[in-house]
Structure 1
Amino acid sequence: MTDTSLYDTGPPRASAPGADGEELLRRGAALVDPPLRAAVAGLHPSTAAVCRYHLGWDADESPTSVRHVAKRVRAALALLSVRSVGAPERFAAVAGTAVELVHQLSLLHDDIMDGDAERRGRPAAWARFGTGAAVLAGDALVVQAVATVLRAEAPGARAAMEDLITAVEQMVEGQAEDLALERRALREVSTSRYARMARGKTGALFGCAAALGAVLADAPAPVVRALRAAGGDLGVAFQILDDVLGLWGDGALTGKPVGADLVRGKKTLPLVLAAAVDSPEGRRVAELLDVVPLPQDRVPEVMRLLEAVGGRERAEEAAARHVAAALAALDAARLPGEVRQEWSSLVACLSRRRR
């Protein structure tokens, strides 16, 4: 059951400064980049071309021509998963690669489902190569993800494969719920239903990434559960902040059109919270957004109303509560002090995301 108290008002818990967060992101990326390239290189040439383009590796397999190169957030989580139980970094490479492959599958398919023609400042893969080619590329990546874990030389490889499959199932359910919510009136969408959707769509893979390295190492079940819970809540917070960026972010940084989710009828948390406000402004938000797609000339009015009811602030407070829940789960894992500080640093870094 979702803890709806996470959406209550009140002062959020502060997290520790994250001086090493960027370093962890870089190390995670360095671990998964070679196996990611190897996985793509083994695909059919036409499918590999779509994947290379989507990943930002152009003709020279360099990301320099892409304005917005994605951070390997899930790889960093996998790295800390391994460090949490004192396992070798090669387990982090396996876990991070598998989860990153699934994540890239979700992006390929998500762009198609949402009709987003741009990603990272240039045409999305489906817009560049066609829908069929992008779907096939996503299918190929998820197969490679399962194969990566299946072939791992690790004591917990079988359990890790089951964990990964479960996470993919939950992610698909979350994506299905996200699409279903688009057809619902805004006032019919509760914060608890939003949270269930976000736990599947984003939280499941975050939770998997945070636990999978430990599972590969056959770590104690209580530690694995704590890491998975922390990752799940961090993923929900990440999704909420993504919702905020979709409305108030800088398109030059995010690489996607600002306001696209608003026009399409996505039930993002700032909108859900705004429509729940019992005021003329809150009711007007719900009234305007019952029309899908939202006429472009209505966008400025909706944005003014969101500001009036504090939609952004309410969503950011909810994200902070999920971050606090993630930190509490990490406390329960009783990790070594240095590793616990690294977790705090990464969480703080992700909490300040701007793209």
Structure 2
Amino acid sequence: MRLVKLTMTRGDRVLGWTIETCAPELRRWIEALGGTASRITAYQFGWSDDYTANPRHGGKHIRAALALLCARAAGSDPRRALPAAAAVEMVHALSLLYDDVLDSDDIRRHRPTAWRVFGRGPVTGAADGLIFLAFEAFSGSDGPPEIARAASVSLFETLVQLAIGESLDLLFEERRHVEIAECAEMISGKTASLFSCACRLGALFGHADDTDIRRFASFGHDLGMLYQLEDDLLGIWGDSNLTGKPVFMDLNRRKMSMPVVAALASGTPAAKELADRYALPPGEDLREEGEKLAALIEEAGGRQWTNRVAGAYLDAAMRWLKELRVRADVEREDIDDLEAICDLMVNRSR
């Protein structure tokens, strides 16, 4: 059972600082969209009409935090990476807008999804606008033009990976068997690629050398894999009052998340029963069925396996930070803040 935190951790403070630092930049760009697109995006970010943020409805800004922290760890003023932080948060927002439309999800962050409020067409139009806006953020940066060009290339490659990951996710819902390696590839594209991009862009705007940029990017990828595995676990065993999504939603939609795929690959009697049940459409009592499916996944070892692999990705991410820590020009506090973000990943409740 996960306990609700009563005290603010270092990671929480870092995210609070990130939101405060990025808010003016993000709002400036979102206002530039204008009209319905601006309203839709503001809704997605959890802002009211006056741009007042509601923590219950807004995101955590983890990707923006990574961009700013990696720039600082590279030895620069983190504000140099504000264009990168804004860009990755806009890409994250548009990926959620598309994802909810494609999955026909009704609830996100404790309230109706944007397409339920504004309609599918306007929401996809707003998401398209955010793509162009993210690249525009680089062109408005104060740094050398070659950095903006390199950032644009990295972001374009990430958008391709996001599209591949989303396509695989949808494809897997139509299949009865998915290999663990295939599921890892999907996670790498759909989630870890943007984490990696955020760290790469932060290091790039922080004027890191090529070797360190690769280190930061690799750290971000492993952290993103950890994040998604923890998200998969929360999707089955999390508290909907904290996650903001209906309990067992992914199971009832027959999502091939990593705990499910690992359980099905176990070859146990529970795996066979899980496969038989997953091949059938959801019944009338979704909670009862979800509880049964969750129990079968745990019995087949899917939960334990996913926890173990998540731990391996955490170790890998920490090894990248250890490499960066030994550099003489990296302040200990900067790496400590990145480690605090890692700690948040393994103590998530939403």
More displaced stretch, 31-40 vs 96-105: 31-40
**Pair 1:300 & 2:284 matched:** no
Deviation at residue 46 of structure 1 after TM alignment: 1.6
Compute the RMSD of aligned alpha carbons: 1.7
Q: Which runs of 4+ in 1 moved over 6 A?
A: none
- State the identity as a percent: 36
Which of the numbers 151, 157, 166 marks the counterpart of 2:148? Answer: 157
2:133 corresponds in structure 1 to 144
Q: Which amino acid aligns with 2:213?
A: V
Structure 2 unaligned residues grouped into runs of 5+: 1-7
1:13 corresponds in structure 2 to none
CA deviation string 1:119-158 (max 9, x = no partner): 1111111000100011011111111111101221213221
Deviation at residue 25 of structure 1 after TM alignment: 1.0
1:226 corresponds in structure 2 to 215
Matches within 5 A, 1:313-332: 313-332=304-323
CA deviation string 1:34-74 (max 9, x = no partner): 1111111111312111111221112232124x733321101
1 CA distance for matches of 2:211 and 2:299? 44
Deviation at residue 293 of structure 1 after TM alignment: 4.9
**Pair 1:93 & 2:85 matched:** no
Structure 1 unaligned residues grouped into runs of 5+: 1-17
Which of the numbers 126, 133, 145 marks the counterpart of 2:115? Answer: 126
* Paired residue secondary structure (1:277): coil
Deviation at residue 294 of structure 1 after TM alignment: 6.4
Deviation at residue 199 of structure 1 after TM alignment: 0.6
1:344 corresponds in structure 2 to 339
2 CA distance for matches of 1:101 and 1:194? 25
More displaced stretch, 302-311 vs 162-171: 302-311
1:249 corresponds in structure 2 to 238
Which of the numbers 179, 196, 208 marks the counterpart of 2:170? Answer: 179
1:292 to 1:154, Cα distance in 2 relative to 1, 3 A: farther
**Pair 1:80 & 2:69 matched:** yes
2 CA distance for matches of 1:199 and 1:121? 27
1:131 to 1:314, Cα distance in 2 relative to 1, 3 A: same
1 CA distance for matches of 2:140 and 2:160? 21
1:259 corresponds in structure 2 to 248
Matches within 5 A, 1:40-119: 40-64=30-54, 67-119=56-108
* Paired residue secondary structure (1:63): coil
* Paired residue secondary structure (2:33): coil
**Pair 1:311 & 2:302 matched:** yes
Deviation at residue 292 of structure 1 after TM alignment: 4.3
Relative contact order, higher structure (CA 8 A, sep 6+): 1
Normalising by structure 1, we get a TM-score of 0.90
1 CA distance for matches of 2:292 and 2:222? 32
More displaced stretch, 76-85 vs 298-307: 298-307
Q: Does the aligned pair in 2 maintain the 1:288–1:294 contact within 8 Å?
A: no
Q: Which amino acid aligns with 2:318?
A: L
* Paired residue secondary structure (1:42): helix
CA deviation string 1:289-313 (max 9, x = no partner): 1234566353332122123223222
Normalising by structure 2, we get a TM-score of 0.91
**Pair 1:168 & 2:198 matched:** no
2:5 corresponds in structure 1 to none
1 CA distance for matches of 2:57 and 2:44? 11
CA deviation string 1:97-137 (max 9, x = no partner): 11000000001111111111111111111000100011011
2 CA distance for matches of 1:82 and 1:169? 24
2 CA distance for matches of 1:82 and 1:294? 50
Matches within 5 A, 1:281-296: 281-293=270-282, 296=286
**Pair 1:32 & 2:27 matched:** no
Matches within 5 A, 1:1-40: 19-40=9-30
1 CA distance for matches of 2:113 and 2:156? 26
